[in-house]
Amino acid sequence: MGAAKQRFQKDYSVRTVSPNIRPPAKMAECCRCFTCFGCRAKTGRCMADLCHGSGLLVSDIALEFGHDAFEDNDVGIRFTPSVAALLRETVEKLQNCQPGGALLLEGHTPGLPADNNPMRCSIGEEAATLLRDHLEREGVRRPIRCIGCGSAEGLGLRVRVRLEGAETPDTQAPPTPANPTSSIQDTLRQLRHQIHQLSCAMPLTFKSNSSDLSQEGTCFVLKTAKLARSHPELTIQCSGFAKGLPEEDNQAKRELSKLRADAVAKTLQKHGVRNKILSYGFGSALGSGLCASVDFLAPHEDEDAEGNEFRSIPNYELVSEEQEGSVVDALLKELLLQCSFEPNGVRISASPLLRMVALVLKSFPSWIIRCEGHAKGLPKENSLEKKQLSLARSENVRKALQELGVRNPIHCFGYGSEMGIGKAVRMYALERQGALRIPELTDMTADDREKELNRLLEQALSSNIDFVPNQTAIPKSAAGVLSSIADLLRAFPEDMVLVCEAHARGLPEEHSESKEKLTRRRAELWCQELRSRGVLQDLQCRGAGCAEGLGPCVRMWVASQAPVESPAPVTDQEDPQTRVNVLLAAALEKDGAVKFATNSYQVPPAAAGVIKALATVLATCPQCPICVEGHAKGQPGENSEAKQRLSRMRAEALKVELRKAGVSNPIRCIGRGSDGGLGTCFQVVVDEGQISLEDTEATVLDTQLSMEERRRLLEERLDPILDGGLKFQPNTMELQLGSAIALSKVAQLLKAFPDVAVESVGHAKGRPEDNNDARVRLSEDRAAVVRRALVAEGVANAITCTGVGSSLGLGTKVGASEPSAASCATVFLGDARHTHAVSAALARSALRASSFQSRMAPGASELREQLARAEMDKKEKLQILCHQQEERAKALEALNSRKEDSDTEADLETAFACHCT
């Protein structure tokens, strides 16, 4: 027995003294009691008080360790032969005592009081249980309660028998707590604390490269089995591990760790454990080494849990910060290898897999996660459709995880079949939230600051934003990204100008004006959120729709500002034109060549910095005429009329943007097509005085034709340009791009006819009966915008402005193919009083034919021609014309209702002429 005692003290007393193991704060309240953590808070008493003589001491029975002590099957405690008489005497005393009292058996173990630990208490309780079994076999019918005091009293290996008076028997149910959930949590806390202390005293280890338990591991399992039998309602999770670092995890290590977890589970079941047991092998993903662990789960944590599934990550709080990223990557890689999708499907079919992934992310909530979707196929077979499908898969996984309570920021990407890994999703840990490192800016130049800020913004916005489809609200999941960007921008100078561009889901060919408006509103709300977080920089909002196919995201960059270089004093030898051309070339090259999208004349958002730089240069020479050249893709030999038209529209679009930037220089636009072989770009140079064919023709017409002929010819020229009116953005005074280009052409024509009076009539969306003062004011402002634009282009004609609101009902005549014609302005020629009367007559007639609406301006010109030639009273003639217009509208409605495809414009005119006759 002495050798066994020495072994006991050597193996367990010394090992439990660890500077890293500290009892909880509540342990101090319970004195030396380790077996009933928190007992004073629940029962009002500490179990250690019972070790100090509470109750009548009946007997004190000594025990010894057997020869098989601490072997695989038992702790080897047994009664010495000399205590047989004492046991019989104890039984007689208990039978002769009055019934009603409960027995308390205190188990003690060798050792000093200062060396007491949970393992000693557990051995003491085992000794008390041994005596209880003997007393029950001898016929003692009293309630018996066993506690383990360990070496708290320093009495050696023995059991004390005490007779309690009114103590609550161990066999009776304890009082039901007010909060059952709190009771379960307390129980789990006690069990986990005991498991932790046991693992420190006797680690659950295995033989090298084997699933066989070591002697210490077997002893740990035996102690755990006893705890499990006391709580059969709780689920047990057995976790196996393998030696190595998290990044060294592989399939072989996971299989070995799974065998070790299964070995622990089988040993528990062999020793009478009937609890539900989950078994999982983590390999070396947690870096825990060659061991295993046992954990108790609450009843609600194992709902629908399968055998090969984990519901907790053992000791994840002990993972160092340096290894957290590797641990998350290893766990996610292991789980997502089992992920698969149906062909062309986006829903994941493994709910246990999602639960485990969610548990991993919730265990490490501070990490930003990258979620990549993939599609079936080879890398060379990748396509935009496959990228969209894979992006939808990653977003669907993110949505499912968020429904399970995951709050990590998850950035989704779609790679299609670029990686060649099939129908799968992969997830990685990017970085901790708020880990954006802002460099020291004091020693940086302005250009270096711009480059560094662009790099950091690209890093922070490298993933999509979880916008709700067709909605503008900023999602809550973007709060972390917004905070990071706000912190970043507050560290940079306030005088910087930034562009905020939002994108929407869809293919480039699905781009539309509605998506552009949607993304612009998203960009505005994004900037509002940044300003609410203290951002002071100038933020310019843009909506890109789905023109670039980037999906729902936000992009930000610095709008480069060209340095304001005042032209040096011009000497006699220096050509001023050459000096300005050099400055314009430098402004164009500051951010590199600006490329248009294929077959598009929309000025790309990336040109904002170039436009601002050009405006800065041109502001130093406002009288200098310039020429804007548009170019198209192709070689010089491939030039065509279509390419010339497209490049001319690009030059006109750039001219509109320069006007918005405050450029007042005379601007001439040329479409070069692919003649220069420069690709989809534009050039700005000083105009060398070349006059276009249209200008030459207009000048000739101005000098050779009579006043009436010139007016008629000008109307014929203006009719195709102003067909349908000039379009505005809804509820604004901003001309649409196409209308701004058309207005530039109108100005070019009007400058050849400076003596022709012009009236600008503004309109607003709505029905005639809905007209009000606000709409009239808006339409007047639109008419004034047209006049200011014409004057800025050098038009000297007398221009009057009129606003009619929605009195003409143009807003209700717009077809689906012209969504923006509801807000427009028209330009009439001749006497302003005549055109105002025509507008009033049209308002009274309330025409309803959409075909007439599209030709409203030419129709007004025909009416004014008839009025000019007629000798009768103007008022009477106007009434006749209005009546004719009403009849014409009725005839057109009748003809349109028949839907005869063979009708032509000639047929309609013939029908109208016959009806008038």
The strand pair at 102-108 and 144-150 is best described as parallel
Q: Which residue has the tokens 């999906």?
A: 551
**Residue 55 has which token pair?**
């109750």
Helix (H) or strand (E) holding 743: helix 737-750
The three-state (H, E, C) secondary structure of 391-456, written as one string: HHHHHHHHHHHHHCCCCCCEEEEECCCCCCCCCCEEEEEEEECCCCCCCCCCCCCHHHHHHHHHHH
| pLDDT recorded at residue 896 | 63
Tallying the residues shown for the chain, one arrives at: 917
* C-alpha dist (Å) from residue 720 to 227, 259, 710: 92, 82, 17
One of 3.90.1150.10, 3.30.1330.60, 3.90.1570.10, 3.40.1620.10 is the CATH number of 693-916, namely: 3.30.1330.60
**Considering only CA atoms, which of 51, 43, 161, 52 is closest in space to residue 102?**
161
Helix (H) or strand (E) holding 371: strand 367-373
Q: Are 540 and 501 in contact (CB under 8 A)?
A: no
For 261-303, give the DSSP string: HHHHHHHHHHTT--S-EEEEE-TTTT---SBEEEEEE-GGGGT
The whole-chain average pLDDT of the chain stands at 73
**Residue 542 has which token pair?**
């843009």
Q: Are 621 and 627 in contact (CB under 8 A)?
A: no
| pLDDT recorded at residue 172 | 39
Q: Angle between the 215-230 and 180-201 helix axes, to the nearest 10 degrees?
A: 160
Task: Give 841's contacts (C-beta < 8 A, 6+ positions apart).
Answer: 878, 881, 882, 885
Cα separation, 585 vs 581, in Å, equals 6
Instruction: Give the model confidence (pLDDT) of 588-599 as tens digits.
Output: 775 556 677 777
| pLDDT recorded at residue 519 | 92
**Residue 27 has which token pair?**
């342990």
CATH fold, domain 2-164, is: 60s Ribosomal Protein L30; Chain: A; (3.30.1330)
Q: Tell me: domain 180-318, CATH 3.30.1330.60, correct?
A: yes
Pick out the chain residues at pLDDT < 50: 1-53, 67-74, 166-182, 561-573, 690-702, 811-823, 829-864, 866-868, 870-871, 899-905, 908, 911-912, 914-917
Q: Are 587 and 568 in contact (CB under 8 A)?
A: no
- 3 state DSSP class of 103: strand
Instruction: Give the model confidence (pLDDT) of 290-333 as tens digits.
Output: 888 898 887 766 666 666 788 888 888 778 877 888 899 999 98
**Residue 609 has which token pair?**
């910095």
**Considering only CA atoms, which of 413, 196, 187, 174 is closest in space to residue 294?**
196
Q: What is the DSSP letter of 533?
A: T
Domain spanning 576-686: which superfamily?
Answer: OmpA-like domain (3.30.1330.60)
The strand pair at 497-503 and 538-543 is best described as parallel
| pLDDT recorded at residue 694 | 44
| pLDDT recorded at residue 29 | 35
- Letter string b/e over residues 335-344, b meaning 16 or more CB atoms within 10 A of that residue's CB: bbeebebeee
Helix (H) or strand (E) holding 715: helix 707-721
Cα separation, 806 vs 767, in Å, equals 6
What's the order of all strands across the beta sheet hosting 158-164?
A: 77-79, 56-65, 158-164, 102-108, 144-150
| pLDDT recorded at residue 554 | 92
Q: List every span in the chain annotated with CATH 3.30.1330.60.
A: 2-164, 180-318, 321-432, 446-558, 576-686, 693-916
- 3 state DSSP class of 155: coil
Name the burial class of residue 133, with classes exposed (0-12), middle (13-18) and buried (19+) by CB atoms within 10 angstroms of its CB: exposed
Cα separation, 759 vs 839, in Å, equals 11
**Residue 72 has which token pair?**
């695989």
**Considering only CA atoms, which of 151, 113, 114, 105 is closest in space to residue 5?**
151
| pLDDT recorded at residue 560 | 62
Domain spanning 321-432: which superfamily?
Answer: OmpA-like domain (3.30.1330.60)
Cα separation, 773 vs 796, in Å, equals 31
- 3 state DSSP class of 910: helix
**Considering only CA atoms, which of 820, 887, 857, 839 is closest in space to residue 717?**
857
Q: What does the CA dihedral 207, 208, 211, 213 come to, rounded to 10 degrees?
A: 10
Q: What is the DSSP letter of 205?
A: B
| pLDDT recorded at residue 49 | 42
Backbone torsions φ then ψ of 280, nearest 5 degrees: -150, 140
* C-alpha dist (Å) from residue 257 to 286, 293, 329, 334, 412: 12, 11, 18, 13, 32
Q: How many other C-beta atoms are found inside a 10 Å radius of the C-beta of residue 150? A: 29
Beta strands in 626-686 (DSSP E): 626-630, 667-671, 682-686
Task: Give 759's contacts (C-beta < 8 A, 6+ positions apart).
Answer: 799, 800, 801, 802, 827, 828, 829, 832, 835, 836
The three-state (H, E, C) secondary structure of 546-599, written as one string: CCCCCCCEEEEEECCCCCCCCCCCCCCCCCHHHHHHHHHHHHHHCCCCCCCCCC
Cα separation, 615 vs 238, in Å, equals 71
Domain spanning 446-558: which superfamily?
Answer: OmpA-like domain (3.30.1330.60)
DSSP bridge partners of 413: 372
